[in-house]
Structure formats: structure tokens, C-alpha cells
Amino acid sequence: MRLTTMIAVMLAGPAAGYEPLVEKQEFTLENFTTRGGEVIPEMRLGYETYGKLNEAGDNAILIPHYFSGNSHAAGKYSEDDAAPGYWDSIIGSGRPIDTDRYFVVSVDTPVNLGAHDPNVITTGPATINPETGKPWGMDFPILTIGDFVDTQLGLMEQLGIEKWHAVMGASMGGLQSYEWAARYPDRLERVIPVISSGWADADLIAWLDVWGSPIRLDPNWNGGDYYDGEAPEAGLAQALKIVTLHANSAEWTNGAFGRDWAEEGADPGEDWANDYKVVDVLNGAGAARASVSDANHFLYLVRANQQFVAGHPEGSLYQGLLDIDVPVMLIHTDEDLVFPGNAVRETGAIIKSDGTPVEFVELEGTRGHLDGVLGIAQAGERIRAFLEAE
Amino acid sequence: MRLTTMIAVMLAGPAAGYEPLVEKQEFTLENFTTRGGEVIPEMRLGYETYGKLNEAGDNAILIPHYFSGNSHAAGKYSEDDAAPGYWDSIIGSGRPIDTDRYFVVSVDTPVNLGAHDPNVITTGPATINPETGKPWGMDFPILTIGDFVDTQLGLMEQLGIEKWHAVMGASMGGLQSYEWAARYPDRLERVIPVISSGWADADLIAWLDVWGSPIRLDPNWNGGDYYDGEAPEAGLAQALKIVTLHANSAEWTNGAFGRDWAEEGADPGEDWANDYKVVDVLNGAGAARASVSDANHFLYLVRANQQFVAGHPEGSLYQGLLDIDVPVMLIHTDEDLVFPGNAVRETGAIIKSDGTPVEFVELEGTRGHLDGVLGIAQAGERIRAFLEAE
């Protein structure tokens, strides 16, 4: 299967879904102040909406995105698009997140990976710093997941929404969901963190560092100062390869590729130029993705995720989780290498310990962490009921 | 805990063990022919022995080593050594691999990682090619696990051993153990592959590629041609960091480091120069190891492991395993990210399917793959009984 086909199949939901064509919109926050106290003169970000905000303004659902994702959660930009947004299987008319009923808002984060993707609008190290007229590079403030949430708070105010009916996101989108519930418990009714846990533990911190490692070794990275020359695309491609592998499962790699060679007759035991198919496909996926992504943005995302503790409490991993008092649905899978099932269960146990209602939904599948994106439809009716509950 | 202390603690067995001081010995195979038909004029390798070969020559046990290991399996070179060989807890007078009874032979592989470690003797890309007077570099033949075994067959003949009483090794040493049993069933009595399975599946192939990825990105690597200049030590250090993390477990990283910062008061959220302790320790371990290792040797080890199918049968993953007809003891752990428990159980089921006796021993512990090295003593009495069985 060709890579583009494979990616299309990976992302494809059922044919129907959110029917109207989707348009990327944008919003700007002037003098956005980070939680660390730094000021970003202009924070410009993209977002998409599906459905309509009702008059009471109480039917809005926020969908923050995962590490390598963006605000394209549902629908298509044009009839010809190979695939709709990543959670199209649960968002649309009649679907669990029913756009006849809810107004769905999906937002690009700052330092979004796809800085050079025409369908992403973000602000980060690749953006021109209005004060210098040059890209920020590594002088861009180090952000946190809390800062991402604060940009969404800004959008919320611009849209005139007082309270989200729900916040739901996968992986890094799940971290943003926890953060909303821990930090702004009055601004949402319920929360659905998917394939994510309440803080970045040492294991995740270390693996995130491994993800970013190839970028720092690419001589083109040059300490993050590369916007005048060649981008560190080779390092970024390898970084994205690691993410893809880590977010998948042995069941997938073994089932899809086995010990096949990249080219028939080209034995990897005979020549260094030959390789295995699984490596070749992962390299191809990484390279394709690298061409629209930014290496510094990748490193900023790594650091944002490493810093994550829900609610960012000083001195306690648990306080932010205990501050959550809206109903919680945790969707996870035990085959997840990035956010293992036991970390999610521990998170849920802490939230529940002071009486907050927590429901668990365990996904089945063969794709590991990615099942939270590819396999989300199996939780559809549970999500629908959770959203509809009084 | 300081890194050196940590490594000492990681590797330390009980104080007593193999009592005599150990000396590295060496052997040479002239015109060693690889299974791929390439000739290496001089294959010079190190080995260690513990105990004495008996007159019948039937008490010898071979211990091939793991990816980042070498032939120092037991004992100390000098009284002052911080730690003995890696399996000292099970090798020695009165221990499960009882050196009063058995003659234990542990061999450095070709393309051993520690090419610049004074306690390793190996032949590989860092070695001078006698025909050119320069290091082989990437012109060194691509080797297989089968080639490693064939060097051990050469040593066996030089030592006058007809048949191993047993072959036992961990991880890549386990692959060599399978290979012995599949390829040379008449040359051993029994086999104990530890934390390893019967072939490299797509998942392992891909992860091995990830391990090597930082080396290829280091500009000093220069396509493998660096022996006249700076070695790609930064890339190699990152490669070794990934191996360390992958061979460990979340239980270890989380328990040992939590979310601690590398330096008190140096918040990773404030400055790119700051980092988390887990990352800092892994970087330190990688760098320390890189200084005595060789980057090309690392890549040759990756490719040897990727190619592995027990017995190297054409067209079948299983035939080599079915060819095994000596008793097998498989020691594994379910917390292993490198060779998952289900792959080991599948391997055992195939071997067993034609009546070959297979025993499983499951290790407990908190160190993942590494428990096959650090926690091997818990299998001690099972190993002793297996070695003593008629």
C-alpha cells in the first residue's frame, strides 16, 4: 500500500459525517501573557467549528488536539479531500458528538507542529517576532499545556461562550482537557480526556526527550537558528518516525510488515542501502510529515508535554486532579505505550477519591495509543450518553 | 545517586562469586568466512573462562553476550573492581552455574559495541583491515547472529570441546543461544535463551532502527568514515540513551526519578539549558558509554539483530525453531519492551509443537528487559536443576 493511501486509510472514517465543507478560521490574542509571565505581542491561531452555537450559548464542545494534530477534527475542506478530520467518525449530524445539537470548536495550539501546513494557523518559533522582524526561534517563550488552554479561554471569550458543555481531546488534547477541568472548573460541564493521564511521569518525560533527540543532532538545526538556511528536515523526519512507532503497537508493525524487505530482492543483509519495509515505510511517513512541520515547534511541544501536571499545582501531582469536580469520562487502552493504562487508571482513582464521578471506557484495537484516534467510534454511544446526561 | 554508583549498583551481585581473578584471553580465526560468503582475513576476539574443562571435555557452558555487553560475565579483573561480571550472581563456586563443576566460556562477539573498551577484544569496522592498512569502516562485511555463533564454533574447536553442556545467553545472547540449538543441534546438550525470542519481528526491526538513528544524523558519522577525525560520539551517546530507556521500565524511571529536575532550582520550563533528572541521567549514561564504544559497531549490531531468524531458514520463520531438539528453558519477563513476553511464549510454543521439551521461567522485577540481567538470580535454582538434569 502506498504511504499516502495508508495514511488516508488510517485516518478515514465512514463516508458520511460532518456534511458542510469546513473552513479554517482564525483568531488573534493581543499581548498574550504566558503563565510564566512572558508576553507574546500577537498570538494568532486557527480554529474550526462544526454545528451552530445556540442562543443560550450552552451547547459548545471544545476539542483540543494531539501532539502531531491540528484543529481539523471533522469534515472536509473540499469534496476531493482523501480523508476527513481525525475524529469524523464521532462528530457530525446524528453522530455521538451530534452537530445538529452541539457547536463543536476545535483549535490549533500555539507551537503547533504543522507550522508549514497550509491548513494550520499557529504562533511559535517559526513565526516572525513583530519586535525583531525575524522568526522567534528558540527565543520564543517556553509554553505549557496551561498556556494552550489559556489561548482557548481567549477564543471562548471572543465567541461569547461562558461555559463549555464539554471538553474532549486525545493524548495532548487529553492533557488540555484535564487542564481545563483542573484549572477552570467553572468553565465546563464535563470532561473527556482520551488516551492520556493526569501528569507527565518520568517515563513520558524521557520518551519525549528521545522523540526530540534526532532534531538536536541534525547539523541544520544549529541550536534552533535555521530559518535563514536549510531546515533540519532529516532530524525532524526521524523524530516523527519515532513518534509514529511509539504511538503504534507491535501488533500493527508485525501484522502489516512482518520481516518484508523494502524492495524485493534487495536483502538488508547484503547492502547498507537495503532496508526492511517497516523501516522504509516509517521513514517515508516521517519525511512526508517533516516537509510541512517545524523542528523547533516539535521541541516546544516536547517541553510543553514534559512540564504537564494537571492544574500546575506547586508541590503536588494530585492537587489539580482533586480540584476537578465535573463528571469525567476517561477513555483509554491498555495497549498504549505512550500513556499506559495503569497511569490512566491511577489518574482516575485520584480524581474519584474525593467523590468526583469518573467513568472508564477501555478501547480495544491493534494500534496502541493511536486507537484513541482511529478506534474512537467504539466509544461512541458511551460518549453520546455522557454528553446527554443531566 | 551518582551515575557511576548507579551503574555499579545496577550491575552488582552478591559480594562473593567467582573467586579467582579473571583474565581476558583472545583467539584468532584466520580467513573467517561469513555465511554471506565474505572472507575476513583475521577475526580476533576476546573470551573469558571460569572453572576448568574436565578430561572428558563435556562440562563446558557457553555464555554469549547481549547487545551492549561483552565476555565479562562473572568475576573481577582485580580486587578493586567496582562490580563483577554481569551474571556473577549465578556463576561461581556453588552457584547455579557452578564453576566447581562446569567450565564456563564467555566470548566477545565480532562488531562488539565496546571496540574502544580495554576489556573487549573484537573485530569489526573499527579494526584495521590488513589488506588496506586502514580501518574497515562500512566496508566490513555485514554480519549475522549466525556469524557470531560460527566464531564461537571456531573457539570451541580451538579449546577441544566437542559439545557444549549448555548454551545460555541474555537478549542478543539469547538469539545466539537459539541459533546454536537450531543450527548445530549436535553440538549442545541444552539451551537457555533469556529475554529473547526466536526471530526479530517487524516491531523489533523498527525499534533497532530507532536505536541507530541518532548515529546517522551526527555529522561526524560521515557515512561511517570517521576514523581519521572526530567520532560521532554525540549521536552514539543518544543511541545508547535510547537503548537504556527501552531496556528499562516505567516502574524504574518513575520510581527513581519522578519529575525531579536535573538541578535544584533550574526549572526546565524556564530555560532550554535546564532539564529533567531522568533525561540528565540517561544522557550521562549514554555519554559515559559512548566514550569506549564505536558508532559503526553499533550499526553493525543493529543489522545483525534485525536479520535474526533462528537457524536462518529460507522462507520460514519456524523451521529453525522446529529443528531445535535439545531441551529448552526460556527465561523471560512480561514487563519486557524489547522482547515482549508474548513473543517469547510464541517461540516456545513453536519449539514445543513437535515434542521438544520447553520449560518457561517468568522473572519478576521492576526493570523490564534488564531484569534478565539484573534479576537472573531468582531463576537460579531452576537453572541449576535444568543444567543437572540427565
**Band of residue A17 on the pLDDT scale cut at 50, 70, 90:** confident
A209 part of contact set with chain B, CB < 8 Å: yes
Q: What is the mean pLDDT of residues B156-169?
A: 98
B193 part of contact set with chain A, CB < 8 Å: no
Residues in chain A with CB shorter than 8 Å from the CB of B259 are: 199-202, 205, 309, 317
B250 part of contact set with chain A, CB < 8 Å: yes
Q: Count contacts between A and B (CB, < 8 Å).
A: 144
Q: Fold for A3-201+310-388, please state it.
A: Rossmann fold (3.40.50)
Give the dihedral sign, CA A375/A378/A382/A386: positive
Give the dihedral sign, CA B94/B96/B98/B104: negative
Rounded CA separation B304/B109 (Å): 11
Residues in chain A with CB shorter than 8 Å from the CB of B276 are: 202, 205-206, 209, 306
Coil/strand/helix, residue A213: helix
Is residue A13's pLDDT more than 70? no
Q: Model confidence over A257-281: pLDDT tens digits?
A: 999 999 999 999 999 999 999 999 9
**Band of residue B207 on the pLDDT scale cut at 50, 70, 90:** very high
Q: For position B6, what pLDDT does the model report? A: 45
Rounded CA separation A377/A363 (Å): 9
Tell me which residue in B218, B270, B340 faces A142 most closely, judged by beta carbons: B270
Q: Do B307 and A144 touch (CB under 8 A)?
A: no
Q: What percent of chain A has pLDDT over 90?
A: 93
Residue at A219: amino acid letter: P
Catalytic residue at A165? no
Q: What is the mean pLDDT of residues B246-267?
A: 96
Q: For position B16, what pLDDT does the model report? A: 59
Is residue B3's pLDDT more than 70? no
B259 part of contact set with chain A, CB < 8 Å: yes
Q: Which of A203, A277, A305, A337 to mutate to test the interface with B (most CBs of B within 10 A)?
A: A203
Burial class of B72 by CB neighbour count within 10 A (0 to 12, 13 to 18, 19+): buried
Q: For position A12, what pLDDT does the model report? A: 42
Is residue A10's pLDDT more than 90? no
Is residue B84's pLDDT more than 70? yes
A196-205, A289-298, A345-354, B13-22 — which is least confidently predicted?
B13-22
Is residue A1's pLDDT more than 50? no
Q: Model confidence over A77-94: pLDDT tens digits?
A: 999 999 999 999 999 999
* DSSP per-residue string spanning B44-111: EEEEEEES---TTS--EEEEE--TT--S--SS-SSTT-SS--TTTTTEETTSSEETTT-EEEEEPPTT
Q: Do B207 and A245 touch (CB under 8 A)?
A: yes
Listing from the earlier edge strand, what are the strands of the sheet with A191-194? A25-33, A39-50, A103-107, A60-64, A166-170, A191-194, A328-332, A358-362
Element of type H or E holding B128: strand B128-129
Tell me which residue in A36, A138, A277 faces B272 most closely, judged by beta carbons: A138
* DSSP per-residue string spanning B143-162: P-HHHHHHHHHHHHHHHT-S
Q: For position B280, what pLDDT does the model report? A: 98
The CA R_g of chain A, rounded to the nearest whole Å, is: 20
Rounded CA separation B212/B235 (Å): 9
Residues B151, B107: contact at Cβ < 8 Å? yes
Looking up cell 562473593, which residue turns up? B16
Geometric angle at alpha carbon A178, from A175 and A182, rounded to 5°:
140
Q: For position B74, what pLDDT does the model report? A: 98
Average pLDDT of chain B? Answer: 94
Residues in chain B with CB shorter than 8 Å from the CB of A218 are: 217
Q: Model confidence over A157-189: pLDDT tens digits?
A: 999 999 999 999 999 999 999 999 999 999 999
Q: Model confidence over B310-357: pLDDT tens digits?
A: 998 777 889 999 999 999 999 999 889 999 999 999 999 999 999 999
A303 part of contact set with chain B, CB < 8 Å: yes
Half-sphere exposure of A317 (CA within 13 A, CB side): 15
The CA R_g of chain B, rounded to the nearest whole Å, is: 20
Q: Do A307 and B269 touch (CB under 8 A)?
A: yes
A207 part of contact set with chain B, CB < 8 Å: yes
Q: For position A16, what pLDDT does the model report? A: 59
Tell me which residue in B202, B250, B277 faces A340 most closely, judged by beta carbons: B250
Q: For position B205, what pLDDT does the model report? A: 98
Q: Indicate the DSSP class of residue A33.
A: E
A273 part of contact set with chain B, CB < 8 Å: no
Q: For position B19, what pLDDT does the model report? A: 87
Domain definitions of chain A by residue range: 3-201+310-388
Residues 339-368, chain A, touching B (beta carbon < 8 A): 340, 343
Residues in chain B with CB shorter than 8 Å from the CB of A231 are: none
Q: Do A257 and B317 touch (CB under 8 A)?
A: no
**Band of residue A118 on the pLDDT scale cut at 50, 70, 90:** very high
Q: Which of A210, A236, A241 to mutate to test the interface with B (most CBs of B within 10 A)?
A: A210
Is residue B171's pLDDT more than 70? yes
Q: What percent of chain B has pLDDT over 90?
A: 93
- Name the catalytic one among A106, A171, A249, A293: A171
The yes/no answer on whether domain B3-201+314-388 falls in CATH 2.30.42.10 is no
Q: Do B202 and A340 touch (CB under 8 A)?
A: no
Quick one: chain A helix, strand, coil %, rounded to 5? 35, 15, 45
**Band of residue B12 on the pLDDT scale cut at 50, 70, 90:** very low
Half-sphere exposure of B282 (CA within 13 A, CB side): 29
A314 part of contact set with chain B, CB < 8 Å: no
Looking up cell 516537509, which residue turns up? A291
Catalytic residue at A336? yes
Rounded CA separation B113/A296 (Å): 32
Residues in chain B with CB shorter than 8 Å from the CB of A202 are: 250, 253-254, 256-259, 276-278
Q: What is the mean pLDDT of residues B241-259?
A: 96
Residues 36-65, chain B, touching A (beta carbon < 8 A): 36
A230 part of contact set with chain B, CB < 8 Å: no
Residues in chain A with CB shorter than 8 Å from the CB of B269 are: 36, 142, 144, 303, 307
Burial A76-103 (b: 16+ CB within 10 A, else e): bbeeeeeebbbbbbbbbeebbbbbebbb
Closest residue in chain A to residue B257, using alpha carbons only:
A202
Element of type H or E holding A27: strand A25-33
Q: For position A316, what pLDDT does the model report? A: 86
